[in-house]
Amino acid sequence: MKYELEKKENGIFVANIKIEKDMWQEALDTAYEKNKGRFNIPGFRKGHAPRNIIEKTYGKGAFVNDAIDEVYYKAYTAILKEHDEVKPVDAPRLDIKNFDEDNGVEIELTIQCVPEFELANYKGQTFTKQEVKVTDEDVEKEIKNNLLRSSRLVETNKAVKNDDFVTLDFDGYVDGKQFDGGKAENYQLKIGSHTFIDNFEDQLIGLNIGDKKDVVVTFPKDYHEKSLAGKEATFKVEIKNVRERVMPELNEEFVSNSTEFETVEEYKNSVKEKLVKEAENRAEIELDNDMLDKLIDDTSFTAPETMIDEEFNRQINGMTNQLRYQGLTLADYAKYVGKSEEDFKQDIRNNCARNVKARLVLEKLIRTENLDIKQEDIDQKIEELAKNSGKTVEEFKKQVNNDMVNSIANELLMKKIVDFLHANNTIK
């Protein structure tokens, strides 16, 4: 066997391989020994017919494909063994360039490897961390949300008003005819939620239990059901029940019963501290992302298509299977988010290209700066997780599997990368 290996652009190697007569015949003999049991030849026990008899009956190409697989494997193995710089990211593409059934074959292997590239400058840069501000209005808004979670819905005989929860029956007509999906009984609707089209909910304000009304609305011109788009519809509505939200009062009694604090002031201070901590965490995450994004964006190279294909197929297959359980297709979901299936897939592919590039950049940074994770780092994190869960390390380890270990290692590695970037750049 003879071969010539040529390095192309973007991490591609091309090997032109000549398999001479002796090696080719040996490969044919090997293919015959592996596959002779598949052939039934009259006058011979199965698996005992000579190769020339099988080839005469089934054609000389009976063992060619398996023989090509045989020589391809030997050639590819030899190339990987003899050339450390060839680090494939996918199986090579095989093309037959010259074929002689008796005297040998010439094949070409296209091998995609990780492309060589230089990391952009990742030291001595200046980044700005977002200033953390929590106003009194922010605190009041958070407290209102907390009170909302403690509120109750109470049946009332009052007229419908905004934010009430109404139970109603409705029956929709377009051009005097009922339409599919336009009818429901005991439907629960929050007034002001804009769940229904146009000003449907506004027209219910002021009605009382038992009232009936014709609510007239117009479907949007871009409505997903084309037969209804832009059309005027009349809904015959009957109010069955009305519930209003009763909010608790913010006082010492509420605070002592619902929180760990005793006074309103203590409670407000704790809410502010919580919001400040959350804002600081967001600012820190945004800063980390800015540093990583700059490194990835400024590093110039094109991610291999084979790696993008692999990531794309993984994501598409996962999403397709998940949607299937919900009775949906990818086209259905694309339509739901307002895109064509083609545009939706292209967005996913663009994200995959970005993900692959990011992974290769960070892997090179890890190798360049020796930012590896040791087993003792993982053990220390497991001890911390065990302590937080209230279990002993031995108890906690019983629930730790390989996926969890990999997740812990990746989390620690990302922290090490971010800490390195913080230490080697200026943060304002």
CATH number of the 264-427 domain: 1.10.3120.10
User: What is the amino acid identity at position 210?
Assistant: G
pLDDT in tens, 339-394: 899 999 999 999 999 999 999 999 999 999 999 899 999 999 999 999 999 989 89
Q: Are 12 and 110 in contact (CB under 8 A)?
A: yes
Q: Is 307 helix (H, G, I), strand (E, B) or coil?
A: helix
Mean pLDDT of 262-266: 95
**What's the whole-number mean pLDDT along residues 290-296?**
96
Task: List Cβ neighbours of 422 (8 Å cut-off, separation of 6 or more).
Answer: 291
Give the whole-number percent of the chain exceeding pLDDT 70.
100
In three-state secondary structure terms, 220 is coil
- Examine the pLDDT at 400 and tell me if it is beyond 90: no
Most confident of 99-103, 196-200, 334-338: 196-200
pLDDT of residue 338: 87
Q: Looking at residue 60, what is its pLDDT?
A: 81
**Can you list the alpha helix ranges (DSSP code H) found in 20-151?**
21-35, 51-58, 64-82, 136-149
| Average pLDDT value for residue range 66-93 | 91
Averaged over 64-90, what is the pLDDT?
91
pLDDT digits (tens, 9 = 90+) for 129-144: 999 999 999 999 999 9
Domain ranges of the chain: 2-112, 152-246, 264-427
Question: What would the pLDDT profile of 306-338 be if each residue is shown by its tens digit?
Answer: 899 999 999 999 999 999 998 889 998 998 888
- pLDDT(243) > 90: yes
277 pLDDT more than 90: yes
pTM greater than 0.85 (yes/no): no
Q: According to the CATH classification, is domain 152-246 in 3.30.70.260?
A: no
Closest by alpha carbon to 282, among 138, 122, 420, 406? 138
| Mean predicted confidence (pLDDT) in 1-26 | 91
pLDDT score at 102: 77
For position 350, what pLDDT does the model report?
Answer: 95
| pLDDT tens digits, 24-59 | 899 999 999 999 998 889 888 888 999 999 988 998
Contacts of 32 (CB under 8 A, 6+ apart): 51, 54, 63
Beta bridge partners of 106: 18, 98
Tokens encoding 375: 């087993």
Pick the CATH number of 2-112 from 1.10.10.60, 3.30.70.1050, 3.30.420.40, 1.20.120.420: 3.30.70.1050
d(CA 336, CA 145): 30
User: Is the pLDDT assigned to residue 246 strictly greater than 90?
Assistant: yes
Q: What percent of the chain has pLDDT over 90?
A: 75
The yes-or-no verdict on residue 10 having pLDDT over 90 is no
- DSSP secondary structure letters along 228-276: TTT-EEEEEEEEEEEEEEEPPP-SHHHHHHHSS-SSHHHHHHHHHHHHH
Helix or strand run (H / E) with residue 95:
strand 93-100
According to DSSP, the β-strands at 212-218 and 232-246 are antiparallel
Tell me the average pLDDT of the chain. 93
Mean pLDDT to the nearest integer, 155-183: 95
Whether the Cβ atoms of residue 197 and residue 182 lie closer than 8 Å to each other: no
Q: Which residues contact 161 (CB under 8 A, 6 or more apart)?
A: 191, 205, 206, 244
Give mean pLDDT, residues 70-92.
91
